[in-house]
Structure 1
Amino acid sequence: MQNVFNSKNSALLLIDHQIGTMGWVGSISFDEMKKHALMLAKSAAAIGLPTILTSSMEENAQGPLLAELKDILPTEFENRILRAGIVNAMSDPNFAKAVEATGRKKIIVAGVTNDVCTVYPVLTLLEQGYEVQVVADAGGSPSKFADEMSLIRMRDAGAVITSTNQLLAELAQDWSSEDGSKLLGIIVEGFGA
């Protein structure tokens, strides 16, 4: 397999995994979405994947980011991009600069909600020439229909739609490798295998 995403060429964007926003999701359970988002964060920390966290209007209905993210990615949490209501995170100059500063052209994105907070930055990233994978089960939308429409729109624009487990397997490539053994531990913990 060519053109694989790995810890040397990719970066992770976790967009708006906020308590209030996650409560608006109806396409996947809160617990499943949270589990997958935290698995991504743990994986990024374990294999040194550059990660950018962002949130929108934490003091309003959207609420704070998941508290676990502070424990898993403390530096990234402290340096999170606090957006003042900008829907498309890539329209926030600080977020766009942080993405560019990773130096990576392969971007992994998970966000809440997929039909608002994920779709627009993904479309912008694709327009700017990035390769993008969207981890659909680490986010969700208010309805299954809304989620399906946003995933179709991103896929049709050129994004690869994936799942947490599938992405971690791609990042690993070989479970006996250094990255692979770390990621396998996160999968076993996350899925209780």
Structure 2
Amino acid sequence: MLIEADTSCLIVIDIQQRLAAAMQAPAETVKNARILLTAAAELGVPALVTEQYPRGLGRTVPELGPAVAAAKAQVIEKLHFSSMNEPAFAAAFAATGRRQAVIAGMEAHICVMQTAAQLMQAGHEVFVVTDATASRTLASEQACLDRLQAAGAGIVTTEMVVFEWLGQAGTPAFKALLPLIK
């Protein structure tokens, strides 16, 4: 199945200051999350951003600030590892009315995995963006991706998401987003 801009919601999980510093390849993860947020803004895809215990882990990394604002993303603080167990997040996701969830974030094997699993249990199509998702170790990240794929999640890349959301070349949105992925 393809990821569709009019049926999906972008979820960016816990890409926070103190957490990002401990991840494998944090610069690539942040760069690709910024591309996803920018594409979501351009294409009208609703975006939700979570922050796990921001007093301890800091806020979302500053590099994502302009893209979060452009996407008009709702930023939701949480204590639960699964965003779906946080009432404010569950309500915000439900309010989007979207059936597809495109997920990026940290840590893959904890908050990303648990959120994705609960979204699938609730009947949503889930796509985990591997190059916009990270853990402290590659083994933990790979275990998450393997487990979610076995459960039915799509494992995708940033470019796959952007081009599936676009659907065709030659549009104003395509021209606006092309410099981000060249």
Q: 1:156 aligns with which of 126, 150, 154?
A: 150
> 1:45 and 2:41 equivalent?
yes
Residue 43 of structure 1 aligns to a residue in which SS? Answer: helix
Q: Matched residue pairs, number?
A: 181
Equivalent of 2:75 in 76, 80, 86? 80
Q: Which runs of 4+ in 1 moved over 6 A?
A: none
* 2:94 equivalent to 1:100: yes
Task: Measure, in 2, the Cα distance between the counterparts of 1:71 and 1:59.
Answer: 21
Contact 1:141 1:147 in 2 (8 A): yes
- Per the normalisation by structure 1, the TM-score is 0.88
RMSD: 1.5
Partner of 2:61: 66
Return 5+ residue gaps in structure 1 as ranges: 189-193
Structure 2 unpaired stretches of 5+: none
Determine which of 10, 14, 18 is the counterpart of 1:16: 14
Give 1 or 2: higher strand fraction: 2
2:30–2:64 contact (8 Å) kept in structure 1: no
* Cα pair 1:111 1:138 within 8 Å, conserved: yes
- The question of whether the paired residues in 1 share the 8 Å contact of 2:99 and 2:125 is answered with yes
Name the residue aligned to 1:191.
none
Give 1:185 deviation, angstroms: 2.9
**Equivalent of 2:23 in 14, 22, 25:** 25
- Aligned match of 2:123 in 129, 134, 140? 129
